[in-house]
Every structure is written in structure tokens, then in C-alpha cells.
Structure 1
């Protein structure tokens, strides 16, 4: 898609194309040097994770709960071979298939938990920041109190309450998602509330009040769209924490049963005894999957957060690439290009 052109004054100005203005593409074009390398690495790892989750039925050679094929049972703790490239677990499951199917479970928890917390946190922060008064004070106190709860401890309590500690697919997903949602709501609440307090003092909000716009219209039509620009940054950071919470639940024995879904933390829990026996493949691959996914999402989040800071972005641009100087006559006798450089003046003297 070609760039658009518009006229400003007497000079045509080329506007960037729609492709270059897309969120991730725009940040990628802004980044330079090491920061760009970190962002690309994070995007590659995260993209591979999402691709594995979407294509799990095609990539995994076996089902997540499959114990046998036409040749018979897989066998427990079998080393890597042509039939099982990453070996089998102590329960007789194929490690490679469990790792691939586990990406679907991780994506499901991220989607459910983060989306629920975004809706609740944004709504509460918008109402609290705009209305103020006793409503604001009560919501701030409640969110500060909830924020003090450890997410993993709350997840364990929710798992016991919902499923009695023996989780099927939806029970385990809801136990992890609800606990993560409760802990994440204060984060979105704080960000949206601070932005709402700042934006409601702007001139366009005062103009909307003068024109007779209702409070709901002002909040959702004028303030909301300007207060949610930092949400993608928080989303990426919270997604990695959601994966760790789900893995922690499974590792402590409150995860999803292997016959209901594949979950990396549960597989790590069952491979503890294998480590002391020299059986490394049952624990290495699920552990590496957790580390890589969290690393990839964190790299993306930190890179976007870094690029959102104008001071760091300007510094990197100044250090990495030269900024072209417009040939405008701002000094007596001609443009800036006609002014001799300081080094030239010193050399002549």
C-alpha cells in the first residue's frame, strides 16, 4: 500500500501508509539497535507460541491424553526416539504432544483472565476517576486491599472452592482465570483512574459538558478512547504472569487432570522423581516451554513499554540515526546548511 500525500502550506507531505501505522509495525519501525533486536526476538517467540496453540491438532502426533497407538502402549519414561522425539512421561504420555497441547491451555487462561480483568478494571477505573468523591475513595481502598493478595495463594483457594482440588478442563481454567482476574483488576483500575482524572480536566471534556452531554456519553465516548492507550503494555506483562500462575497451580497439584487437558505445571510436578533418576526429558521440555513463552511475552511488553516513553525513544533515535535538518532559512544570510560547521571553523582558525 502506497503512502498517502497531503499538502501542508506549499509543500506536499507524505503520510505513512496504513500498514506502517499498525500498532506492532509502528513500534517496530520506531525501534533501533538492541531494542529492535529484543522486540523482534519477543515477537518471534510469542508468534511461535500462538502458532503452536492454533495448529496443535496438526503439529502434535498424538492426543494430550493418548497412551497407546496401533502398536500398543507407549510405555512409561521411554527415552527420545523416532516414535517419540521427546520421549514419554512417567504416566506414559508423549512429551512432545503434551507440550504442544499445553500451549492451547495457556492461551485459554490468558484470554479468559486478562479479558475479564480488563473489562472490570477499566469500568471501575473510569467510574472512579470521573465521579470522584466517596465512590472514588471506596474503590481505591478496595483495590489496594485486593492488590495485596498473592495471586498464587488466591488461585489455590479458588481451585479448592470451585473444583475441590481435582480440576477438569473448565474447572482448572476458571480457577486460574478467576484468581488472576481478581489480582489484575487493581492494575488496570489504577492506570485508567489516573488517566481519567487527567483527561476529565481537558478542554474538550468541558466543552462536552457545556453542550449538555450526559456523564455516560462523556465517559465512554470522549474519555475511554483516550485513557486506554497503555493497556496493550499492561496486557503483555500480565499475560506472562497468568502463565506462571497456571503453571504454579499445576506444579502444586491443583492443576488440570491429564485426561482433561495438557498443562505444563502438572507435567513438571509428575517429573520431580525422574530428575533424581537421570530421566531428564520429562522435565526439561515443559520447563523450557514455560521459560521461553514467559521470556517472549516479557520481551514484547518491555519493548513496547520502552518505546512508549518519549524520552527513551528520542534518545535512541538521536544516538542511532541522524535526524535530517530542514533547509529553512532561520539565520541571516541563508539556510542552516550554509552555516559552516564548528569543526570547520576550528580547523580554519
Structure 2
């Protein structure tokens, strides 16, 4: 008779090591880690924002499959759509004053907004981080000039500056990519000072640390110190700014389109332009031409704002510790010694 297998205490039912490693890697993913750290209302805000952002991205990526018609299509194989038609089985969101399908314009407008947001945020991130790194690390007259220019740009109203730059950059172009690049670059100039100021302040703080002085003493080149030591410790707050700027980019693009400085309607669908064309319809009782583009702008901006605000709260250790301590305190109170003794007295009575 073989001896029974001895199982160490506490290891029964334990997951294999390779599965534990996969689970640990999954829990360390950026979005998963933030969701696990959040609690209560904070987690609800973060999850709601992530859902709205995911829907926005999926609709923009699958516009070819989801949109029943093209963004500038006025008729199908049978007849013209007709202007200001109410929602029906053929046109779920109705048609605009120009005869376009509202649902198709909303779906294609999501792709336009996503392209503008990606180009604007990526360009401003690269330019702002590079200028902030160079300015904060070397200092001197270059730092003073860049700070002065950034403060001057930051003092201008962002929408007014975007309008002026859109006029200069577009040059009368009406193509899809010409309009997208013009809108994105005009928004980029507005965002660059924000990244510049944040990165410069972090670089000035990090370059005074002992490990940077040790790298200089060892003869490490400036480029390696800037990229390997200073930059890696100066960009921790950038994801928060990216999410908030993405929301602001959507609102700025909608503002440009509403004021008539955005993308031409025959070049690409744009929510702000559709909303501006629908202003006159509202007074006539035609609500569908303004409701759905405006709702798309609001939901996309709210989703990104919720994600940014939740990440901002999670980055603050005081808020995260306070939320977690409140949750732990409630659990401990339910199983405390005092509570157990009071329950025992009630049973004896």
C-alpha cells in the first residue's frame, strides 16, 4: 500500500505557477490596474468613461460597416432621400436640411473626430514633450524664450487661436485629409504649451536628483541622461493630460465646425457643422437634425472626461488611500471583537 501524498497546508487548490504569472501580468495592464485600484463611485465613473470611449472608437473604426450610406450620399438606387425627413425605417435618425442621412453623418463624424483627436494629441505630445525636455534640462536663454512663447500662446483664448490657425493652415482646402490636418494642427498649437509646461517643471525637478548628478560624474552623454534618466521620470502625469485634451479636442473641432471653419460637408462628416446647420430646424419643430449630432459630441466628450478625472483621482495617493481606508474600515467593523462580543451577549440573553 503506497503512502498517502502529503499536501502542504494552504496549497490545496492553488493555481499553477504559469497561470498565476499570466494573471499577475493581466492585472498589471494599464487599464486593468486602474480599474482594480478604483473603488465605489470612482470605479463607476472610470468604467462608464471606458465604455463610452470604447463605443466611440469602435463606431469610428467600423464606420464602413455600420453606416447605411455615405457621408455625402443624397439618394439610393430608387430615389433621393428628401430634406428634413422624420425618423423612419429607411432613415432611423431622419435626414438633414441638405438631404443627408443623419445616422450616416453621425457615424462617419465619429471617424473624423477620432482622426483629428489622434493627430492633434500625438503631434502636440511629441512637440510639447521635446521642447519641455530641452528647455528644462539646459535652461538659460533658450528656456526663457520658450517659456515666454508658451505663456503668450497659453494666454490667448483657445478657440479663437484655433480659428485663426485653421484659416491660415487650411488655405481654402476642401479635401478630407486637408481639412483633418488643418483642424488637427490648429488644435495642436493650443495643446503644445500644456505639455511643455508640465514636462519642463518635471524635468527641472528630476535633473536635481542625485542619480542624475551621478550619471554626469560618470561621463554619461547628455542625450543618454535626457532620454534614459530624466525623460522616463518626467512623463508620469501625461496620460491624465492626454485624456483630458482628447475631450477638449472634440469640443474644439465641434466649435470650429459650428462657426464654419471646420471641414467641408462634402469632404467628410463633422458633428459641429451638422449641428450648426440644424439650428434653424429647432425653431420649426424639427428636432432630429440637432439632437443626434449634439448627443454624439456630449457622449464622446463626457466619456473621455470621466476617464481623465478618474485617472487624476487615482494618481493622487491621498484620495486613493482615503477611499480604500473607508472600504476596509467598514469590513473590519463588521467583524470586530466588540461586534462579536455584543452578538454573544444577545444570544445569552
1:152 aligns with 2:159: yes
> 2:162 touches 2:190 (CA, 8 Å); kept in 1?
no
Structure 2 match to 1:320: 327
Of the candidates 200, 214, 218, which is equivalent to residue 207 of structure 2?
Answer: 200
1:176 aligns with 2:176: no
User: 2:147 is paired with a residue of what secondary structure?
Assistant: helix
The alpha-carbon deviation at position 285 of structure 1 amounts to: 0.2
User: 2:24 is paired with a residue of what secondary structure?
Assistant: coil
Structure 2 match to 1:37: 44
* Distance in structure 2 (CA, Å) of the matches to 1:3 and 1:107: 42
Structure 1 stretches of 4+ moved >4 Å: 2-5, 13-16, 322-325, 339-344
* Distance in structure 2 (CA, Å) of the matches to 1:256 and 1:14: 49
* Distance in structure 2 (CA, Å) of the matches to 1:67 and 1:146: 42
TM-score (norm 2): 0.88
Gaps of 5+ in 1: 6-12, 326-338
* Distance in structure 1 (CA, Å) of the matches to 2:315 and 2:16: 24
The 3 A distance-change label for structure 1 pair 72 and 192 is same
TM-score (norm 1): 0.88
> 2:95 touches 2:102 (CA, 8 Å); kept in 1?
yes
Which one has a larger percent strand, Structure 1 or Structure 2?
1
* Distance in structure 2 (CA, Å) of the matches to 1:74 and 1:166: 28
* Distance in structure 2 (CA, Å) of the matches to 1:306 and 1:312: 6
Structure 1 match to 2:239: 232
> 2:169 touches 2:186 (CA, 8 Å); kept in 1?
no
Greater Cα offset, 103-112 or 314-323:
314-323
Gaps of 5+ in 2: 1-14
Of the candidates 243, 249, 269, which is equivalent to residue 250 of structure 2?
Answer: 243
The alpha-carbon deviation at position 16 of structure 1 amounts to: 6.7
Of the candidates 259, 268, 271, which is equivalent to residue 275 of structure 2?
Answer: 268
User: 1:243 is paired with a residue of what secondary structure?
Assistant: helix
Structure 2 match to 1:292: 299
* Distance in structure 2 (CA, Å) of the matches to 1:85 and 1:197: 55
> 2:108 touches 2:269 (CA, 8 Å); kept in 1?
yes
Q: What pairs up with 1:63-74 in 2 under 5 angstroms?
A: 63-74=70-81
* Distance in structure 1 (CA, Å) of the matches to 2:168 and 2:207: 41
The 3 A distance-change label for structure 1 pair 90 and 180 is same
Q: What pairs up with 1:89-238 in 2 under 5 angstroms?
A: 89-164=96-171, 167-238=174-245
> 2:70 touches 2:104 (CA, 8 Å); kept in 1?
yes
What RMSD, in angstroms, separates the aligned Cα atoms of the two structures?
Answer: 2.5
Of the candidates 59, 75, 96, which is equivalent to residue 52 of structure 1?
Answer: 59
The alpha-carbon deviation at position 3 of structure 1 amounts to: 8.9
Greater Cα offset, 173-182 or 273-282:
173-182
Structure 1 match to 2:12: none
> 1:42 touches 1:300 (CA, 8 Å); kept in 2?
yes
The 3 A distance-change label for structure 1 pair 15 and 77 is closer
In the TM superposition, what whole-angstrom CA distance separates every residue of 1:184-241 from its partner, at most 9, and x where no partner exists? 1111111111111111122221121111101111001111111111111000000011
> 1:167 touches 1:255 (CA, 8 Å); kept in 2?
no
Structure 2 match to 1:8: none
1:277 aligns with 2:284: yes
User: 2:103 is paired with a residue of what secondary structure?
Assistant: helix
User: 1:218 is paired with a residue of what secondary structure?
Assistant: helix
